[in-house]
Chain A
Amino acid sequence: MGAGSRETPRRGVAVELQGVRRSYNGFEVLRGVDLTVKAGELLAIVGQSGTGKSVLLRQIIGLERPDAGRIAVGGLELPRYLAMPPDEKPFRIAMVFQNAALLGSLTVAENVSLRLREQQRLPAAEIEEITRRVLDDVELEGTEDKLPSDLSGGMRKRVAIARALAIEPEVILYDEPTADLDPILTLQIAELIKRIRASRGSTQMIVTHNLPLARAIADEIAVLDRGRIVECSTPAELVQSSQPLTREFLRAAALGT
């Protein structure tokens, strides 16, 4: 079921995590996560609510610092990457938040072009062209002047993806991209993520508890259980897994829950 990777342009860079730990108020959420995502790979991280999936993404994007362990992106230690001035970073990491996190006071076009406008490196006409192109990519042409409050949940998610694409990132992190969406919108987002993979080849990491979605789009699926990766395999291998949590997920998915 995993998307083939042979003809994909290799734009992405590898992500490596070794022994990553993170605690909150004495409660250890991540308990030594080891994970490697190859350049251009689409990895899905599945797990129950509260197992640290979102926390893991926040460590990778640099919103939080792990208590222990190391994270490297594109062969560069994350703290070194984060300390670099934005213009000097050799690659870009983007994140699509669970609730889209669009700025409510800005229009769709302003949201999508925000980083480009703030960097002030490209002429306005070029920024406008990029904005139009990425909105076309997510099939939201004509919504440029709308406010996020005028859009449906699925459209807001797609604007958030367009915002991520506008900076041409080498790594894209998605936090529950289909949460709160109906099955048709879930399918649309899944197709979009597959298209991004095919056309851009960015490394993509998707946190979800939707196992059928993960099986449909991912090259590899990592199962996170109580702060540790307990299994990481291809969708085909996952079906044969004897790992108890994976079996539970498969059973729940078969029941359509």
Chain B
Amino acid sequence: MAVEAIGRVPRSPGPLGRLGARILDVLQVLGEAASLFMAAARATAFAPIDRQRVIVQLARVGTDTLPIGALLSVFVGMVLVVQAADQLRDVNESVLGPIVGLAMTKELGPVMMAFLLAGRTGSAMAAELGSMTVYDEINALRTMDIDPVRFLVMPRFVAATLSLPLLILYSDFIGVWGGALVVALDPAIKLTVNEYFARMLEWVHLSDIIIGLVKGVVFGMIASIVPCTFGLRTRGGTEGIATATTAAVVWSFILILVFDFMIVRGSFATA
């Protein structure tokens, strides 16, 4: 295409110029992501009509994340117990249940599953939409009066936002059972599995689970909108697709952590 033949006029900005350009780039990405979020949120009105496309994306999220999510969760639960038990052996092992329960429901489950979703499904979204952008498929949709946001972004947005809270519950469940496995099998731990769960249930409240689910909704939005934003702004062929995919994952991770902090801060402020 002719546009590709037009080279930018080579310039060599100084450090301040480069910093300014970088800040402008960041603001532009955030603006595009916010704008896409609004458009996708509006397009969710069509989700019942387009349910087939939403179901396809839900199935894709499940296939991408369930097996590896289980593996991650069980090992994180096990490692938590091993490490905490070592520290608490001479103090009080009965807090192992609350430690694993609270860590999994409030922090590790949500962040771990969000990273998994952004890393696996999100990167695939960025690469797929990036390829469609580069090879004019998105433009072809536009020329057919088909809204790419409704057709492509909304099903991914709905699927990620609905599925991440469920994935978090799945991760919490497997994580605490991973911990229980170590409690049951490690002869150095004197705590029984019944005591582990009893103490956990004393300490983990419904509000803790709800905070995890709220994070799931927010992180699900981030893990879909950010990759779609980068996919739709891809330029420059195969190399551009690779760059967009990497950037989508990095930006998703950063924004998940930023929003994680904000939600935690907000939950303590209101408590």
Contacts and interface: CB of A to CB of B under 8 A. Distances in A.
Tell me whether A and B are bound partners.
yes
Contacts of A49: 2, 5
Interface of A: 24-27, 29, 49-55, 58, 61-63, 86, 93-95, 97-99, 101-104, 114-115, 118-119, 163, 167, 175
B6 interface: yes
B145 interface: yes
Interface residues on B, range: 20 to 34
A27 B144 CA distance: 30
Interface of B: 1-3, 5-6, 8-9, 131-132, 135-137, 139-146, 151
* Residue of B2, B131, B135, B142 with most chain A CB atoms under a 10 A cut-off: B2
Interface class of chain B by DSSP? helix
Contacts of A119: 145
Contact of B136 (A25, A26, A51, A101): A101
Nearest to B142: A63
A98 B134 CA distance: 12
* Residue of B1, B131, B143 with most chain A CB atoms under a 10 A cut-off: B143
A53 B2 contact: yes
B159 to A, nearest CB: 15
Contacts of B2: 29, 49-55
B137 A63 contact: no
Nearest to A116: B144
B145 A24 contact: no
A115 B144 contact: yes
B209 to A, nearest CB: 37
A204 B145 CA distance: 20
Contact of A94 (B131, B143, B146): B143
Given A99-B135, A102-B137, A54 B3 contact: yes
A175 B3 CA distance: 13
Nearest to A166: B144
A114 B142 CA distance: 12
Nearest to A176: B1
A63 B143 contact: yes
A26 B143 contact: no
A95 B6 contact: no
A115 B145 contact: yes
Nearest to A49: B5
Given A50-B5, A63-B139, 10 more contacts: A24-B3, A25-B9, A52-B2, A55-B1, A55-B2, A94-B143, A104-B137, A115-B144, A115-B146, A167-B144
B151 A118 contact: yes
Contacts of B131: 104
A86 B2 CA distance: 29
B143 A118 contact: no
A62 B144 CA distance: 11
Nearest to A63: B139
A27 B9 CA distance: 9
A144 B139 CA distance: 23
B132 A25 contact: no
B143 A93 contact: yes
Contacts of B143: 61-63, 93-95
